[in-house]
A and B are shown apart, each in its own frame.
Chain A
């Protein structure tokens, strides 16, 4: 178990540029989540994948944001035409459902995040 891996750890970009982040979940986990965290706040849900299917998407995820999870393994989050308000920590998490249980007790394992700064 190598944990959830996110790359890069830090990204500095100029306003208007596109950026892409990568998340490698724990290998046997079929669920993957993206969250955004701004300074002094808790993480905010962005989107959720079960295998390769994107099943839930927050209204926070504007048209400039797109997430993919081809083949149900790693995931990418792309932000187009970045704005200063996009500056935040982007966290990825993964989980695996227990047989016979609902989702309420499912523990999420988080990566260390990608810190985005838009100048």
Chain B
């Protein structure tokens, strides 16, 4: 069964520094996609970055990059040069090719300190 684990309930980072949010996953499907979403206090889920299971290179989107280690089944999100507006909940999610469900982890609350 597909599963997403985020072991960090909360993280602090100093403004302008980089931070890594951890995510591990479990699936038996060889084809799957991994996503990170940001949820600010307003409640809306905002797509950040995507990594496919067959992608050879780590995904990058601006200040976001995904450290994809397939053998370890991990897909950590790296945020470089943190900004105050990065303070939010961050969710890792996965979709298998055999299902339309996007399964989420329990999230990490990030607080950026000035």
* A interface, CB within 8 angstroms of B: 31, 33, 40-45, 48, 50, 55-56, 58, 89, 91, 93, 102-113, 115
Contacts and interface: CB of A to CB of B under 8 A. Distances in A.
Interface residues of B, number: 29
Contacts, number: 71
Most chain B CB within 10 A, of A58, A91, A105, is at A105
Given A102-B31, A105-B52, A107-B35, A33 B44 contact: no
Contacts of A50: 100
Which 10 residue pairs of A and B lie closest in terms of their CB atoms, listed nearest first?
A: A42-B104, A104-B33, A110-B45, A112-B44, A45-B101, A113-B43, A102-B97, A112-B43, A105-B33, A43-B104
A73 B41 CA distance: 28
A105 B100 contact: no
Nearest to A114: B43
Nearest to B102: A108
Contacts of B33: 103-106
17 contacts: A40-B107, A41-B106, A43-B91, A43-B104, A48-B100, A55-B100, A58-B101, A91-B43, A93-B45, A103-B33, A103-B97, A104-B52, A105-B50, A105-B52, A108-B102, A112-B42, A112-B43
A40 B106 contact: yes
Interface of B: 4, 31-33, 35, 37, 42-47, 50, 52-53, 91, 93, 95-97, 99-107
A56 B44 contact: no
Nearest to B42: A112
A61 to B, nearest CB: 13
A51 B111 CA distance: 39
B8 to A, nearest CB: 13
Contacts of A40: 106-107
B84 to A, nearest CB: 21
A89 B43 contact: yes
